[in-house]
Amino acid sequence: MIGIENLTVRFGPTTVLHGVSFEVANGESFALVGESGSGKSTILKALAGQVEDWSGRMTLDGTAMKRGDAPHARQVQMVFQDPYGSLHPRRSVDDTLAEPLAIHGIKGRDARVLAMLDAVGLPRRFRFRLPHQLSGGQRQRVAIARALMLEPPVLLLDEPTSALDVSVQAEILNLLKGLRQEKHLTYLLVTHDLPVVSFLCDRLAILRQGRIEEQAPVAALRLGQLTSAYGQELYRRSTEG
């Protein structure tokens, strides 16, 4: 579903990604793991068409992306880290969810908004509330609902639970796992939290300073059998704190 080949990204004089390659199969959940500055979020940005200066090859569902080209909103959507920053403060849940429908001229607005509220586990009475009337977990549900309104096959998830309380994190992780099974979605997840990867993903790539150190199936992570020295170091830090 997602193919990245030899992707190099520069911001001015600095190269932040050095020839990164990986593939994500249809329906797979793939994690990009690394510290701040490792380039993991930059890969998501590049896929979302928000990076100007890139070279290499990126394909989405078999179609190659051109430079300066954003993927179609119906193909890829993104969920961000902070649900306090990613929702318009003066727009109700209904406005937020209906906007993509209006832009793309999709009919049946009422039914679709209600169906999506049900799908992400938000009570229907929340439909006309504003973001400040919602808790962090409820806001993240709205952000996920918005991303799914156009029924894209691919979701890019940038630390979707790291701003949430642990008990709320569990709710959102369960939701993401359930939605993926139901709607047969492909996930590309960025996180620094290895246990989250273990719960939600099939495979992972470990990034360091713009390079992939290793790719591994999640079983290797669970057993602590990452092969690279850096992977082992991350594992140790995660288990020891």
Partner 1 sequence: MSLLSVENLRVAFPSDHGPVEVVKGLSFDLGRERLGIVGESGSGKSMTGRAVMGLIGKPARVTADRLEFEGQDLRALSERQFRRLRGARMSMVLQDPKFSLNPVIRIGEQIAEALEFHTGLTARQRRVKVLEALEAVRIDDPERVARLFPHEVSGGMGQRVMIAMMVVMEPALMIADEPTSALDVSVRGQVLDIMDDLVRRRGMGLMLISHDLNMVARWCDRILVMYQGRIVEELGAGQLGAAQHPYTRGLLASVPRIDEDRDRLPVLDRAALGACQ
Which string of x and - marks every residue 108-147 that binds partner 1 (by CB under 8 A)? ----------------------------x-----------
Which string of x and - marks every residue 181-220 that binds partner 1 (by CB under 8 A)? -----------xxxxx-xx---------------------
Tell me the CA distances in angstroms from 234 to 33, 77, 142, 224, 227, one per residue in order: 9, 29, 32, 10, 12
DSSP 70-109: PPPTTTEEEE-S-TTTSS-TTS-HHHHHHHHHHHTT-S-H
* Residue 104 binding partner 1, by CB under 8 A: no
* Residue 228 binding partner 1, by CB under 8 A: no
In whole angstroms, how close is the CB of 174 to partner 1 at the nearest point?
A: 5
Residues 23-42 that bind partner 1 (CB under 8 A): 35-36
CA-to-CA distance for 142 and 146, rounded, in angstroms? 6
Cα 154 from chain centroid (whole Å): 9
In whole angstroms, how close is the CB of 37 to partner 1 at the nearest point?
A: 8
Residues that bind partner 1 (CB under 8 A): 35-36, 136, 165-171, 173-174, 177, 192-196, 198-199, 221-224, 234-235, 237-239, 241
